[in-house]
Amino acid sequence: MAYCTTDDVYLEAGTSLGTITETNLSDLIDKSDKKINSRLRALGITSYPESDDDLEEASVQYTIAKIKRRQAEELSRPGSLKLGSDIAFTVAPEAEAKAAEAAAEKAVSQYAEYAGGSSVVIVPYADDPYLEYR
């Protein structure tokens, strides 16, 4: 059960992924989903939905972080490039990967809050005789 598809990742990251193949991308998504499930378990959530917008976003962002790091390592997307004396550009793949991971963590936290993980506090509501908790 994948939280996102390769098309979801392509939509956000583009299709120029260096040496990453469709199979590699599916494997990266699987690793991202395992990380999500691990984070959910740490938050006290042990049953996972087949689909959820927050978890889809987390899966896409964790996968993008993995792509950025791999591209930097294999130099298919170097940190800087200079063409002649007048054309140069610089990117920060690690900063981009960290930003994607932060977005993924935020999405996991949002899901956990919605799903009632350990970040949510349930307090009794004394004024309502029909609902014990809200």
Every domain of the chain and the residues it spans: 6-115
Residue 30 CB contacts under 8 Å (≥ 6 apart), including other chains: 2
How confident is the model over 61-79, as pLDDT tens digits? 999 999 999 988 887 666 6
- Say what the pTM is: 0.78
Q: Residues 13-17: contacts with CB within 8 Å, 24+ apart?
A: 13/63, 13/64, 13/67, 17/67, 17/71, 17/76
Query: Token pair for residue 47?
Result: 């049953």
Are 96 and 54 a contacting pair, CB within 8 Å? no
Q: Each residue of 19-57: pLDDT tens digit?
A: 899 999 999 999 999 999 999 999 889 888 878 999 999
Dihedral Cα 32, 19, 87, 85, nearest 10 deg: 130
